[in-house]
Chains A and B, each alone.
Chain A
């Protein structure tokens, strides 16, 4: 069975600082990996995804994530935080050939002025 662990339910950074949100997964087969963002009272928006190929993937709003098989990690980063990045972020995993996504419990990002 697959699972996702997001370390840190709350992360606070200053505007302009590096954003690092951690995600580790467990999967019996090579996974597809996703990061989603959720703004208050809205649905989830896909930020980026890893399927195959290049392990460093770039997404929207300046975010990127790196798939590290040896560490079973898919951490999300952004070089410089903006106030508009304040939201909740979810990491998700899907096993190839499967239909359902398994989500982590989420990390709430707070950006201080």
Chain B
């Protein structure tokens, strides 16, 4: 069966510090991968998605970036965090190709920027 991991689970970082969040998927090949942010009391905002290694699409302009160095690894980064980057970050995967496109979510990372 497929599983998705995210780490760290929680993170407290000062403004201006760098960020690296990691997501890995097991049990499937060539998945679509997604990063979402969920701010307090708000819905999910799609940040990035990837259909393959090195192929990243950005949905919103921001100081965040994403990379996919391996087929089942997706990394969210920032060079300098802002207070507004605080939130709950969720990674998700879906089957790549014909299908019903449901997404499966990881457990999330709670980021607090102080």
Contacts and interface: CB of A to CB of B under 8 A. Distances in A.
Contacts of B112: none
Interface string B18-47: 000000000000001010000000111010
A41 interface: yes
A1 to B, nearest CB: 13
Interface string A53-97: 000000000000000000000000000000000000010001000
Contacts of B110: 41
Interface residues of A, number: 21
B44 A99 contact: no
A78 B46 CA distance: 29
Contacts of A98: 101
Q: Is the interface of B mostly helix, strand, loop or mixed?
A: strand
B105 interface: yes
B100 A106 contact: no
Given A41-B110, A43-B90, A100 B104 contact: no
B107 A99 contact: no
Nearest to B36: A103
A27 interface: no
Contacts of A32: 100-102
A34 B44 contact: no
B51 A99 contact: yes
A20 B19 CA distance: 40
B108 A42 contact: yes
8 contacts: A32-B101, A42-B107, A42-B108, A45-B105, A99-B32, A99-B49, A101-B101, A103-B43
Interface string B51-63: 1000000010000
Contact of A105 (B34, B43, B88, B103): B43
B43 A49 contact: no
B78 interface: no
Q: Which of B34, B44, B107 has the most CB of A within 10 A?
A: B44
B94 interface: yes
A51 B112 CA distance: 37
Nearest to A44: B105
Contacts of B44: 44, 90, 103
